Amino acid sequence: MSFPASVVNSRIEAFKQACVERGVKVTHQRLEIYRALASSVTHPDAETIYRIVRKRIPTISHDTVYRNLKLLSDYGLIAVAGTSNERLRFDANMERHHHFVCVQCGLIRDFCSEQLESIHCPQEAHAFGEPVSLHIEVKGVCTKCGSHKKKKK
Amino acid sequence: MSFPASVVNSRIEAFKQACVERGVKVTHQRLEIYRALASSVTHPDAETIYRIVRKRIPTISHDTVYRNLKLLSDYGLIAVAGTSNERLRFDANMERHHHFVCVQCGLIRDFCSEQLESIHCPQEAHAFGEPVSLHIEVKGVCTKCGSHKKKKK
DNA sequence: GTATCTGCAAATGCTTTGCATGTCG
DNA sequence: CGACATGCAAAGCATTTGCAGATAC
Is it the case that residue B47 has pLDDT exceeding 60?
Answer: yes
pLDDT of amino acid A85: 59
Is it the case that residue B109 has pLDDT exceeding 60?
Answer: yes
Identify which has the larger pLDDT, B14 or A103.
B14
Nearest to B98 by CA among A50, A127, A152: A127
pLDDT of amino acid A148: 64
* Amino acid occupying residue A9: N
pTM here? 0.85
Q: What is the band of B153 on the pLDDT scale with cuts at 50, 70, 90? A: very low
Task: Mark the ranges of chain A whose per-residue pLDDT is less than 70.
Answer: 1, 83-86, 148-153
Among B residues 84-113, those touching chain A with beta carbons less than 8 Å apart: 84-94, 98-103, 107-113
Is it the case that residue B55 has pLDDT exceeding 90?
Answer: yes
Helix (H, G, I), strand (E, B) or coil at B25: coil
Domains, chain A = 1-94 (1.10.10.10), 96-153 (3.30.1490.190)
Return the biggest CA–CA distance within chain A: 54
Task: Please indicate whether, in this complex, the C-beta atoms of B128 and A122 are within 8 angstroms of each other.
Answer: no
pLDDT of amino acid A147: 78
User: How would you label B109-128 residue by residue, b for 16+ Cβ within 10 Å and e otherwise?
Assistant: bbbebeebeebebbebbeeb
Is it the case that residue B86 has pLDDT exceeding 80?
Answer: no
All residues of chain A having their beta carbon less than 8 Å from the beta carbon of residue B138 are 121, 125, 131, 133-134
Identify which has the larger pLDDT, B14 or B146.
B14
Q: Can you name the residues that pair with A81 across neighbouring β-strands?
A: B89
Q: Is the CB of B47 inside 8 Å of chain A's CB atoms?
A: yes
Nearest to A11 among B34, B92, B101 (CB): B92
Report the phi/psi class of residue B109: left, alpha or beta, with left for phi > 0 and alpha for psi in -120 to 50. beta
pLDDT of amino acid B151: 40
pLDDT of amino acid A87: 78
